Amino acid sequence: MHNALNVPVLPLRLPAANVGQTDFEIGFYTRTDASKNDDSEANIDVCYVCLGYPRRAVANLACKHVICDRCATEQFINNPATGHQHTIACGICRQHIRLNQCVIEEEFVPWMVAKIAEGTFRCEECGDFEGTRKELDEHQVYDCHLRMIRCPNVGCNLIQPAYMLAGWHFAHCEYYRQYCETCLLPILAADFAVHNCTTELRSAVQCIINYK
């Protein structure tokens, strides 16, 4: 895609590259949250590992303290020294919890689900967006200018914040392809100066013949 000045323009709404990873899935906060160090009853629904409202599936421990599903998984994997097989120690009451004592969000207590669904959350990346959890997910996956995205040019594996990728890299990427106005073949920007339409067309036709 180009603009009037024939400068490559990064496609809009490229998804964040870190969706599904722990650093994206961990909890997040509302602007009106109590202090992260506040252990009051009002904060009982905050994950005691990442100290945020759980984004995805939630684990409700047998002791009724809350932990994100991903945080629970990490705890079970990385914390085997509890003296009990396949258990973790609750970070609040230290009770030993088995993996099968955790339940997912669909089975979670109604007030917790309602609070997360109806609450207003702020984007912790840019700090400029506020909305429901669903709106926040949409923003952080597709719209936040600080989300980490992968360069869409085939062969380029660079991952940068969206504003950096759009501001400089995409237009200068060595893997960016332009279409020759004569033969209409896609050519790497770096090879455009030495492009030979006849040679490239012959190569393309030969590839088609060999494929058949």
Residues 65/48, Cβ–Cβ less than 8 Å = yes
Report the pLDDT value the prediction gives residue 162, as an integer from 0 to 100: 93
pLDDT digits (tens, 9 = 90+) for 112-127: 667 777 778 888 888 8
Count of residues in the chain = 212
In the predicted structure, residue 154 carries a pLDDT above the cut 70 = yes
- CATH fold for the domain made of 22-143: Herpes Virus-1 (3.30.40)
Name the segment(s) of the chain with CATH classification 3.30.40.10: 22-143
> Which has the closest alpha carbon to 97: 56, 54, 53, 49?
49
Residues 52/27, Cβ–Cβ less than 8 Å = yes
Say what the pTM is: 0.64
In the predicted structure, residue 184 carries a pLDDT above the cut 70 = yes
Average pLDDT value for residue range 98-106: 71
In the predicted structure, residue 107 carries a pLDDT above the cut 70 = no
pLDDT range class, residue 92, cuts 50, 70, 90: confident
Residues 121/131, Cβ–Cβ less than 8 Å = yes
3-class state of residue 57 by DSSP: coil
pLDDT range class, residue 52, cuts 50, 70, 90: confident
Strands of 41-161 (E only): list them: 58-60, 66-68, 87-89, 96-98, 121-122, 130-131, 148-150, 159-161
